Structure 1
């Protein structure tokens, strides 16, 4: 079965390619249906679900996956949050999973709370162009130990594992 990924972002498409062994993987530009900078787990999760559904619609018969990065407020500050969703023909509900979450410096948290987007802020903060296509905030703040693609690979594996479990029942 082929997989339609609801983005052209190379870190996210790479994560799907590295994990999906059931057929071809193609990335598509899709809408998330949420703000450009999702705020909170629910909005970020919904963006992933919307991207998965929209991607699957662009590739008939394929599964669709959506991977969405956002930020979430906690008692300890603002954290990055990441969600994925997998829609598979024959299954009513999407499979969902979240991934790594780390605290952002207050220098970034303040502007994010005011409505700015993490990608452009990270480019300024890190002085690296297209950081969201490469190591991302997680890679920058973990000194390269976990890249954005690796973080999303973890989510993709969680999604595939749930699907495999359900289809074996």
Structure 2
């Protein structure tokens, strides 16, 4: 079965290509249906679900994958949060999973709370262009130990594992 991923982002497409062994992977520019900077787990998860459904509609008889990064407020500060969704034809609902979360420095958290996007803020903060296409905030703040692609690989594996479990029941 082929896979349509609802993005052209290099880190996300790379994660899908690393994990999906069932057919071809194609990236499609899709809408998330949520804010450009999703805030909270619910909105970030919904963006992933929307992207999965929209991607599946772009590629006949393919599964759809949505990967969405957002931020979520916790009692001690603002964290990055990441969600994925896998829609497989023949299953009633998409499978969903979340990934790594780390706290952001307050100098990034404050502008995010005021509506700015993490990607452009990270470019300025890190002095790296297109950081979201490569290591991302997680890579920057883990000193490269976990890249954005690796973080999303973990989510994709969680999604594939759920699907395999359900189809083999």
TM > 0.5: yes
Question: Residues 1-169 of structure 1: matches in 2 within 5 Å?
Answer: 1-169=1-169
Deviation at 1:92, TM superposition (A): 0.4
Give a deviation string over 1:83-142, Cα, whole Å, max 9, x none.
Answer: 000000100010000000000000000000000000000000000000000000000000
Give a deviation string over 1:124-164, Cα, whole Å, max 9, x none.
Answer: 00000000000000000000000000000000000000000
Distance in 2, matches of 1:41 and 1:80, equals 10
Q: Which runs of 4+ in 1 moved over 3 A?
A: none
Match of 1:124, SS state, is helix
Please list every run of 5 or more consecutive structure 2 residues that lacks an aligned counterpart in the other structure. none
Please list every run of 5 or more consecutive structure 1 residues that lacks an aligned counterpart in the other structure. none
Distance in 2, matches of 1:142 and 1:76, equals 19
Q: CA RMSD in A?
A: 0.2
Match of 1:144, SS state, is coil
Deviation at 1:79, TM superposition (A): 0.1
